[in-house]
Amino acid sequence: MRAKILLTSLLGFFCLGNVNAGAARETRYLAFQIFTYYSPDPKVAALMSSGSRAPLTPGNAELRACVEDIKQRIGATGDPQTRLAVMLGPLCFEQSDAGITKYIERAFDLALETDVAVGFHIDDSIFWAARRDLWSDPNNVEAMDWEGTSCTGRRLDWGREPTEAPPQMCFNSKAVQREVRRRSALFGQAIQAGVNRLQRLKRPELFAGVIAGWETMIGQDFKTGRYLGYRALLNRGFSRQRPPQDMDREQENVVQEFIDLWTKGLAEAGVSPQKIYSHTAFLSRRAFKPGPDEEVTYMQRKGEVTYSQHNHFAPPSVAFGKCHRPGFSTYPQPGLFDDIYEELTRHKQAGWASSEGTNMQPMSGPGQSGMTMETYLAKMFNHGATLVNVFAWGVGGEAMKNMDFRVVTEGEEALRAYRKFLKGVPLTEAAATSSLMERLPPKIHRIQKAFPAWIRNSNADNREKAAALMQEMDAKLKAKRFDEAEKTADSILALIGGKP
């Protein structure tokens, strides 16, 4: 027993020492996400399983075609300090042990064949529809109240309309934790076997790392919108009669400990903590609640009162741990990078990842971030990032080549920025102009302030026009078509005599 305790203590020291090792001499990876589940074609892969069919993954030829497309269009693979990479995933609960091992082995083959580094993106808790052995037990499913009422399905706000996913997993149920330990060991052993192979061939730079998580959080119930996490709190000994002193912090601890469980398993299997990253997503504090001298924001949802709750108990602090480096979704928003830099400084963290992102806020339209792709990359690589994983390349195939995300990720301006980084040329971080998320809330505030007086003094025709435009703007905001909502707001301001 003493030997086991000593080994565990040494592992904790090893993880902490390695995860905070200096990042200056490391290879930095510019990676592109390739979706590898639920379809034989990664360009049209779905992100959800019905749980009624066997998982599908792309074949060797399909994967290689995606990698070669990225490599040829960028025209550079980097050098010992900068490397082009692809991240394959989600790798998830539904895939068999043999399937995972074989897939990871194939990925390392692909890296050696193409000279493009490879990494892996693990889904830690979303895609488990086929695991009826787990979710059929209410103890493994999150609850929406102290009575233990089970989640009906998890809400994913990934598009203009919410998507229903399998029920929210209870992160600290005994069965779930037992399976995470087993699966993280399986992943870790398969990945480390590939890393050992690269080292024998003197090509260690072809391993970009592993992201352990897919925006890890405790989400909301799909049907009711209610916040979850009560099952985990019950498991920690709390109840309606004996609630935690700080509900938010207690649930943040649950999320952070779940991330740690995954990453510790990977590290114990041999994967370097410097190559293990978490993946959380958060709304910046500035976007959530502006300062006293700033305009109102439209991002805070009705009825919400805490920052932690809005971020599904995954504020930026939970991304840090002993056996991994922090990773975040980095779609541009006011104050996002400032919050990341602040947390990195507070934790004295060397090395971190953009685990997901591109130079565009979802539903905002291309060109609305207020910065170029070079500046977007510079805000990460110039501030200690060792992995940047860009989303949207090739998604939807030829039929969707003009999709906003594709234009931002694959456009000529972006390609020039990628080439510059991979050739080792320092990235220029230009001053950003105001982004859509900074422009729109003040416009809405001016409309709300000026509209009542204007409507009293306007004629019937103008009142009718204004009412129609207000309804149009409200519908676009609810549909998250923020770029279109801004245009409508400008029309309203022009009509009522305000400044667009």
d(CA 78, CA 70): 13
Average pLDDT over residues 485-492: 78
d(CA 394, CA 442): 35
> Is 231 part of any domain?
yes
3-state secondary structure of 379: helix
pLDDT tens-digit map of 349-401: 999 999 999 998 876 666 677 899 999 999 999 999 999 999 999 887 777 77
The residue out of 407, 431, 455 marking a domain boundary is 431
Residue 163 has a pLDDT of 84
Query: Do 414 and 465 sit in the same domain of this protein?
Result: no
26-35 burial: b if 16+ Cβ within 10 Å, else e: bbbbbbbbbb
Residue 17 has pLDDT above 90, yes or no: no
Query: Do 373 and 444 sit in the same domain of this protein?
Result: no
Residue 309 has a pLDDT of 92
d(CA 488, CA 500): 10
Confidence band of 268 (pLDDT split at 50, 70, 90): very high
CATH number of the domain that residue 368 is part of: 3.20.20.80
The whole-angstrom distance between residue 463's C-alpha and the CA centroid of its chain comes to 43
Confidence band of 1 (pLDDT split at 50, 70, 90): very low
Domain assignment of residue 459, given as a range: 437-496
Residue 87 has pLDDT above 60, yes or no: yes
pLDDT tens-digit map of 393-431: 988 777 777 788 888 999 999 999 999 999 999 999 987
The residue out of 431, 450, 466 marking a domain boundary is 431
Residue 236 has a pLDDT of 97
Average pLDDT over residues 481-500: 72
Rg, C-alpha atoms of the chain = 23
pLDDT tens-digit map of 120-148: 999 999 989 889 999 999 999 999 999 99
Query: Do 258 and 141 sit in the same domain of this protein?
Result: yes
> Is 193 part of any domain?
yes
Query: Do 338 and 448 sit in the same domain of this protein?
Result: no
Residue 50 has pLDDT above 60, yes or no: no
Our count of domains for the chain comes to 2
Query: Do 412 and 448 sit in the same domain of this protein?
Result: no
Query: Do 398 and 456 sit in the same domain of this protein?
Result: no
pLDDT tens-digit map of 154-190: 998 877 778 888 999 999 999 999 999 999 999 999 9
> Is 380 part of any domain?
yes
Q: Answer with the residue of higher pLDDT: 366 or 104.
A: 104
Query: Do 418 and 454 sit in the same domain of this protein?
Result: no
The residue out of 415, 431, 447 marking a domain boundary is 431
Residue 220 has a pLDDT of 94
Q: Is 116:150 a contact under the CB 8 Å cutoff?
A: no
Q: Answer with the residue of higher pLDDT: 30 or 298.
A: 30
């972006």: which residue's tokens?
Answer: 414
Residue 493 has pLDDT above 90, yes or no: no
The whole-angstrom distance between residue 8's C-alpha and the CA centroid of its chain comes to 30
Residue 58 has pLDDT above 60, yes or no: yes
Query: Do 337 and 451 sit in the same domain of this protein?
Result: no
How many other C-beta atoms can be found within 10 angstroms of the C-beta atom of residue 461? 8
Query: Do 396 and 478 sit in the same domain of this protein?
Result: no
Query: Do 405 and 444 sit in the same domain of this protein?
Result: no
> Is 306 part of any domain?
yes
Residue 3 has pLDDT above 60, yes or no: no
Residue 15 has a pLDDT of 75
* CA 317 to each of CA 18, 218, 362, 416, 471: distance values in angstroms, whole numbers, following the listed order: 19, 15, 23, 34, 39
d(CA 406, CA 397): 10
Q: What does the DSSP assignment read for 183-249?
A: HHHHHHHHHHHHHHHHHHTT-GGGEEEEEE-SS----BBTTT--B--HHHHHHTT--SSS--S-HHH
Residue 177 has a pLDDT of 98
Residue 459 has a pLDDT of 82
Residue 295 has a pLDDT of 45
Question: For the whole model, what pTM was predicted?
Answer: 0.85
Residue 23 has pLDDT above 60, yes or no: no
Choose from 33-37, 129-133, 245-249, 287-291 the range with maximum mean pLDDT.
245-249
> Is 161 part of any domain?
yes
Choose from 18-22, 112-116, 292-296 the range with maximum mean pLDDT.
112-116
Closest by CA to 386, choosing from 344, 416, 432, is: 344
Query: Do 378 and 471 sit in the same domain of this protein?
Result: no
Residue 290 has a pLDDT of 54
Query: Do 423 and 441 sit in the same domain of this protein?
Result: no
> Is 194 part of any domain?
yes
Q: Answer with the residue of higher pLDDT: 400 or 221.
A: 221
**Under the phi-then-psi rule, with left for phi > 0, alpha for psi from -120 to 50, and beta for the rest, what region is 270?**
left
Average pLDDT over residues 289-310: 60
d(CA 259, CA 479): 32
Closest by CA to 216, choosing from 347, 361, 318, 141, is: 318
> Is 121 part of any domain?
yes
Residue 54 has pLDDT above 90, yes or no: no
